[in-house]
Amino acid sequence: MQTSPLGQQQVVVLGFIEDLSEADTAGLLDIPTGSLKSRTAWALVILRQVVREEEDVWDRP
């Protein structure tokens, strides 16, 4: 199973779980908004892959 780097985990937690805005998340992490969006996009790619792998495990007979 693939895991995401810490920076990607941080943007997911702050943006989706803590419900911070992009500006607030970028400011807290001291990164440009563009970098935040890039990290978020890659984190979501990895999360989708992990979910698919988990679904495959549960769908096996």
Per-residue pLDDT, 41: 96
Q: Is a pLDDT exceeding 90 seen at residue 2?
A: no
CATH 1.10.10.60 fits 6-59, yes or no: no
pLDDT digits (tens, 9 = 90+) for 5-51: 899 999 999 999 999 999 999 999 999 999 999 999 999 999 999 89
Non-local CB neighbours of 5 within 8 Å, separated by 6+ positions: none
Question: Domain residues of the chain, as ranges?
Answer: 6-59
Q: How confident is the model at residue 61 (pLDDT cuts 50, 70, 90)?
A: low
